[in-house]
Structure 1
């Protein structure tokens, strides 16, 4: 996320002196995105953007996104920051993982559907937009799955047992492993082919999370998979 903000800030500084064209003060878009490699994901979204400054090049806004992820043979590892980092709070961004606390739930099949409110940041160069967005809060639904639990300590009574799990129902953006549930974020470039239609490409970084039907080692039942996938999308200006 920090790299995305740095890219957007740099582009703002470099191109600010050439800002002659006045962009719309308010803009609404609809979008269909497909991601692949390591899994498959489809996302439907709506976003409302508001121009800031004299020429409205820089935009902030909100949106709604439905992201469906399908994976095979994915490893879901211990999710809570209190275990992965040994502490909670924003400082976990700078703390190494406590590997001895991280167990794995290996799911042969996974499928989550996350409906979230989205935060949007975008900068425009006439026909070209560059931007970053991230899910903030929402819900996830999906079917129960069964997978193999692999404990870090092979002496655990749960090691190598079959465990059932469902997608974690509540999603909330906090910081890194403090996050809850399934969240999607994108760094992208969008080119407007016509005043109403554009092609958008970039990278989608997705957290998907399952909650086991019982507490396992370390009294933990939450397991998370993180994946970065390229995506292509079609956008429509409303």
Structure 2
């Protein structure tokens, strides 16, 4: 509840500060690739321009991310387990596939009329996906498990995060007035919840997370 209140307060504060600011809108279609994994994402952001020249762009939007991979390891997700390798166990998911729809935050800077940089991060939303088979890994032991994407996504900073959250550092070059090419480094959390709490020590746990680093290429339409 405190997290939701904080998000709503930030949204309200931003809207008050931006009442006299100019606005712009961006939509991106992006594909990313990493080690035996990749994503396709579509987003839309409403941004307020700040500063005398309006080069600073801050705003909110929505992003849909579809993740797919092959033989990916997911480690214990709760913060008190993830921060200590002695406490963390893993599951190996054979064919992970997660679809996430999130409210996202964007901060950008238009360095030149045709060139800009920025950062965006998912904040709150939900995930969907089918049940996947895998193996619970504990030392040399292993057992078959079934897991589904964690349904609720929320940004809580670092290992306190929950669910599937996408973030990216990007550069845009406008080849036309309203169209740009985007290059980005994408950092993605995906999370699965097992049917049972397969990890029992040092505490019972059913949430497991994969952290992916991907390079992406996309196109941008400015409205």
TM norm structure 1: 0.81
Displaced runs of 4 or more, over 2 A: none
Gaps of 5+ in 2: 1-20
Of 152, 167, 185, which residue of structure 2 is paired with 1:203? 185
Secondary structure at 1:150 match in 2: strand
**Structure 1 counterpart of 2:212:** 227
**Structure 1 counterpart of 2:125:** 138
**Structure 2 counterpart of 1:62:** 60
Of 73, 91, 99, which residue of structure 2 is paired with 1:113? 99
**Structure 1 counterpart of 2:18:** none
**Structure 1 counterpart of 2:6:** none
1:74 and 1:172 map into 2 onto residues whose CA distance is: 22
1:126 and 1:26 map into 2 onto residues whose CA distance is: 16
Q: Please list, as runs of the form range in 1=range in 2, the aligned pairs for 1:151-166 lying within 5 A after superposition.
A: 151-152=138-139, 159-166=141-148
**Structure 2 counterpart of 1:193:** 175
**Structure 2 counterpart of 1:176:** 158
Contact 2:34/2:212 (CA < 8 Å) preserved in 1?
no
TM norm structure 2: 0.87
**Structure 2 counterpart of 1:12:** none
RMSD: 1.1
Q: Which has the higher strand share?
A: 2
1:48 and 1:68 map into 2 onto residues whose CA distance is: 22
1:129 and 1:187 map into 2 onto residues whose CA distance is: 11
Q: In the TM superposition, what is the alpha-carbon distance from 1:196 to its structure 2 partner?
A: 1.2
Secondary structure at 2:86 match in 1: helix
User: 1:200-234, CA deviations, whole angstroms, 9 ceiling, x for partnerless residues?
Assistant: 00101000000000012221000000011000000
Gaps of 5+ in 1: 1-23, 86-97
Q: Which has the higher helix share?
A: 1
**Structure 1 counterpart of 2:25:** 28
2:34 is the alignment partner of 1:52: no
2:196 is the alignment partner of 1:214: yes
Secondary structure at 2:176 match in 1: coil
User: 1:140-195, CA deviations, whole angstroms, 9 ceiling, x for partnerless residues?
Assistant: 0000001010024x5xxxx4100100000000001100000000000010011111
User: 1:30-50, CA deviations, whole angstroms, 9 ceiling, x for partnerless residues?
Assistant: 110000122110001101111
**Structure 2 counterpart of 1:81:** 79
Secondary structure at 1:194 match in 2: coil
2:58 and 2:42 map into 1 onto residues whose CA distance is: 19
